[in-house]
Amino acid sequence: MANRIIIITNLPGDADTLTAVLGSARDGPFEVEWVRHLSTALKRLRMGGIDAILVDLSLPDSHGIATFDQLFAAAPHTPIMTLSVEDDALAVEAVQRGAQGYLLKEHLVSSLVPQTLRNIIQRKAVEDAFYKEKARAEIALNSIGDAVICTDMEGIIDYLNIAAEKMTGWSRLDASGHALGDVFKIINGITGKPERNTVELVLEVNKSIGLPPDTVLVRRDGSHVSIEDSAAPINDWDGQPTGVVIVFHDVSLAQSMAKKMAHLAQHDFLTNLPNRALLNDRIAHAIILSKRNNSQLAVLFLDLDNFKHINDSLGHATGDKLLQSVTQRLSGCVRGSDTVSRQGGDEFVILLAEGKSEEDAAATANKILGVLALPHSIDQDELYVTTSIGISIYPADGEDAETLIKSADIAMYHAKEKGRNNFQFFRSSMNIRAVERQLIEANLRTALEKNEFVLHYQPKVNLDTGLVTGVEALLRWIHPDLGMVLPARFMRIAEDCGLIVPIGRWVLLEACTQAKRWVDAGLMPISIAVNISAVEFRQKHFFEGVRTILNDTGLDPGYLELEITESVLMRDAQASAAILQELKNMGVQLAVDDFGTGYSSLSYLERFPIDVLKIDQSFVRDIAIDTDNGIIVSAVIGMGNNLKLRVIAEGIENQAQLSFLKSQNCEEGQGYFFSHPITADQFYELRSIGNCQIGGI
């Protein structure tokens, strides 16, 4: 398309000359418009499409440099040339203010005029394009998040984008002309030593490079910020470097996030203690040190006693707070070089590093037992918790983290079996027990549904008459491979894993059903005793369960006797008394089993609505040869009689024991001397044939 020129002059001669010259230009004619007034020209320019302006600065409506100024303001991107005479100061001034040049009036006819115009139009177009390109680059560089700094070959800064200004604290104006090292001061974040000059590094290899990790930028105000960066040479068209561009960004957020993630991966959320993974690492590390120093280390495995009960009765929120309180106390019992970790639930593992002997480990375990047992104030409540601790020692009990933890775990179970709230060292014999425990637990889980339980029955006998006064139901597990398994082998495990609750419910139902069957078969009704474990007794719906079973089976509550050990009563005396009273109101008989093995205070018995005292068989066993036991037994019989309680001696095996008990006015007894626990059928036989009278009385 032809270039369009506007000629602004009041001199028709000049206008004609120019129109002719331009209209017949050799390399293509120009489109020419002529106007006389500035105002007309300005109006025309606003419409657009003009490629260059030729103006005579003296017009009918404007004179002098003001004419140029107004045109320039109206069309800043359109090249302007003035028409002037030789030595025209005004034309020079116009050039200084942005005009592209001037045409001397005496040369208007020259063929150079179209060529000159063509040149300035092209040059202006190139300048515009370049300007636009630069503006676009500038916008792009300022809108990216990365900071960009450019330098020349000497490392003198000639450009900073906005992000770089913010990161360094230097404005572009302040920074330009400075050496890169003044503005982009970088050090190694770990050693604090200055990093090498980036410009030198880049120019040395003449290709783009990433800077070392852990680079820290020291900002203008002296503060530090972690950055990640790269730098590259800026090459000209010939591929020759002319400077360096450095691009970097703030990685402190990403770094702190990564640190947080790493922490989370290695720590327990609730207590912020190291978790299993981190503990394993620490133990492995401690083992390496111990090997080098030829020393020992200890691993303590802790499991809180009865924590499940607290969690179930007071809620998880309280349980969580208790775990946090425990965490604090545990941390206070060890040194900074030791590790307290939480394995999940109420299990903690402690690594005592740095050459700990067995004595040190025992001392720490003792300290823990003492400190944990103190009341924990949680939500205005004082909670009590104890723990059982197992201890393993490197290298005797394991040469790697896994074995050491497992050994300590096994020893912990041993501590539980020893009555909780104590610590035990691992012994290799425990391994056998652990295997046994696993075997029992795994099989126990399916025993109920496989119908592997039966009840055996042991008569209670009137020591004077030999008449059967009652019967105790005793649980037996008939396992296809293990044969008959006695309660001693599985009861603790059933309690620990909560299986005792459904099993106990089965026992109660079976015992009541059997008692009813005997009555229906024509036997005289006698009371049937069922053993209730602590875990069952503390179950929320225990009382309702008993009532439902009595209702369902139709057994008269007066013939059901529940046997509870004295430690169960003592643990939470008030709550126990309330439950016992409810049972009592329903008409159920209550017996204290294994009496004398627990807290042994007769006076507390008055607080409970008890009917029966069962003297533990350990007192009966040596009754005749051990005078102490004899004295205890006669005292218990005396007290029981005073309190109007029935007293039953357990474990009577021979005539001597029987005679002694009779001499002390003990009314009832139970033991192999009369009968072992027997099946329901055998018991039926015994009662119908033996006319209810057994034993050699």
Please report, as ranges, the residues that interact with ligand C2E according to CB under 6 A: 458, 474-475, 486-488, 491, 504, 507, 531-533, 563, 593-594, 617, 650-653, 670-672, 677
Between 275 and 664, CB nearer to ligand C2E: 664
Between 54 and 455, CB nearer to ligand C2E: 455
Which listed option, ligand C2E, Mg ion, none, makes contact with residue 677 (CB within 5 to 8 Å by class)? ligand C2E
Asked if 561 touches Mg ion (CB under 5 A), the answer is: no
CA distances from 378 to 192, 311, 373, 539, 572 (A): 47, 13, 14, 23, 18
- Give the binding range for Mg ion (CB under 5 A) out of 426-434, 448-456, 561-569, 680-688: 561-569
Between 384 and 672, CB nearer to ligand C2E: 672
Between 220 and 476, CB nearer to ligand C2E: 476
Closest distance to ligand C2E from the beta carbon of 657 (Å): 9
Between 484 and 521, CB nearer to ligand C2E: 484
Which listed option, ligand C2E, Mg ion, none, makes contact with residue 470 (CB within 5 to 8 Å by class)? none
Between 41 and 507, CB nearer to ligand C2E: 507
Place of tokens 């320039």: 72
Nearest alpha-carbon partner for 666 in 633, 623, 696, 642: 633
CA distances from 397 to 357, 425, 426, 544 (A): 13, 10, 7, 48
Between 21 and 485, CB nearer to ligand C2E: 485
Between 334 and 461, CB nearer to ligand C2E: 461
Within 635-694, the residues that bind Mg ion by CB under 5 A are 650
CA distances from 322 to 185, 315, 573, 584 (A): 51, 11, 22, 35
Asked if 346 touches Mg ion (CB under 5 A), the answer is: no
DSSP structure class, residue 105: G
Closest distance to Mg ion from the beta carbon of 591 (Å): 8
Which residues lie closer than 8 Å to 394 by C-beta, 6 or more apart? 286, 287, 290, 296, 297, 298, 299, 404
Asked if 531 touches Mg ion (CB under 5 A), the answer is: yes
Closest distance to ligand C2E from the beta carbon of 534 (Å): 9
Between 53 and 652, CB nearer to ligand C2E: 652
Cis peptide leading into residue 194 (ω within 30°)? no
Closest distance to ligand C2E from the beta carbon of 620 (Å): 8
The CA-based dihedral angle spanning residues 93, 94, 99, 102, taken in that order and rounded to the nearest 10 degrees? -90
Closest distance to Mg ion from the beta carbon of 614 (Å): 6
Closest distance to ligand C2E from the beta carbon of 593 (Å): 5
Residue 690 region by backbone torsions, left for phi larger than 0, else alpha for psi between -120 and 50, else beta: alpha
Between 352 and 564, CB nearer to ligand C2E: 564
- Rounded Cα distance between 562 and 557, Å, is 11
Closest distance to ligand C2E from the beta carbon of 602 (Å): 19
Nearest alpha-carbon partner for 550 in 567, 538, 566, 562: 562
- Rounded Cα distance between 222 and 602, Å, is 78
Closest distance to ligand C2E from the beta carbon of 491 (Å): 5
CA distances from 109 to 18, 28, 87 (A): 7, 16, 19
- Rounded Cα distance between 457 and 476, Å, is 10
Contact 175, 155 (CB under 8 A): no
- Rounded Cα distance between 583 and 577, Å, is 10
Place of tokens 């002309």: 177
Closest distance to ligand C2E from the beta carbon of 579 (Å): 16
Which listed option, Mg ion, ligand C2E, none, makes contact with residue 297 (CB within 5 to 8 Å by class)? none
- Reading the block at residue 367, the tokens are 């300290």
DSSP structure class, residue 211: P
- Give the binding range for Mg ion (CB under 5 A) out of 286-294, 354-362, 502-510, 587-595: 587-595
Nearest alpha-carbon partner for 570 in 542, 541, 592, 552: 592
Between 410 and 530, CB nearer to ligand C2E: 530
Which listed option, Mg ion, ligand C2E, none, makes contact with residue 653 (CB within 5 to 8 Å by class)? ligand C2E
Question: If binding means CB under 5 A, how many residues of this protein chain bind Mg ion?
Answer: 5
Between 467 and 475, CB nearer to Mg ion: 475
Closest distance to ligand C2E from the beta carbon of 490 (Å): 10
Closest distance to ligand C2E from the beta carbon of 495 (Å): 8
Contact 533, 500 (CB under 8 A): yes
The burial class, CB within 10 Å (0-12 / 13-18 / 19+), for 521 is exposed
**Helices in 276-355 by DSSP H: which ranges?**
276-293, 307-314, 316-333
Asked if 593 touches Mg ion (CB under 5 A), the answer is: yes
CA angle 566, 569, 573 (to 5 degrees): 145
**Helices in 24-76 by DSSP H: which ranges?**
38-47, 65-74
Which listed option, Mg ion, ligand C2E, none, makes contact with residue 41 (CB within 5 to 8 Å by class)? none
Between 82 and 533, CB nearer to ligand C2E: 533
Closest distance to Mg ion from the beta carbon of 267 (Å): 47
Which listed option, Mg ion, ligand C2E, none, makes contact with residue 504 (CB within 5 to 8 Å by class)? ligand C2E
- Rounded Cα distance between 84 and 88, Å, is 6
- Give the binding range for Mg ion (CB under 5 A) out of 360-368, 382-390, 563-571, 580-588: 563-571
Closest distance to ligand C2E from the beta carbon of 388 (Å): 21
Between 175 and 508, CB nearer to ligand C2E: 508
Nearest alpha-carbon partner for 647 in 631, 635, 657: 635
Asked if 563 touches Mg ion (CB under 5 A), the answer is: yes
Which listed option, Mg ion, ligand C2E, none, makes contact with residue 486 (CB within 5 to 8 Å by class)? ligand C2E
Which listed option, Mg ion, ligand C2E, none, makes contact with residue 514 (CB within 5 to 8 Å by class)? none
Q: How many Cβ atoms from other residues are within 10 Å of residue 173's Cβ?
A: 9
Closest distance to Mg ion from the beta carbon of 594 (Å): 4
Single-letter code of the amino acid located at 555: L
**Rule CB under 5 A: which residues touch Mg ion?**
531, 563, 593-594, 650
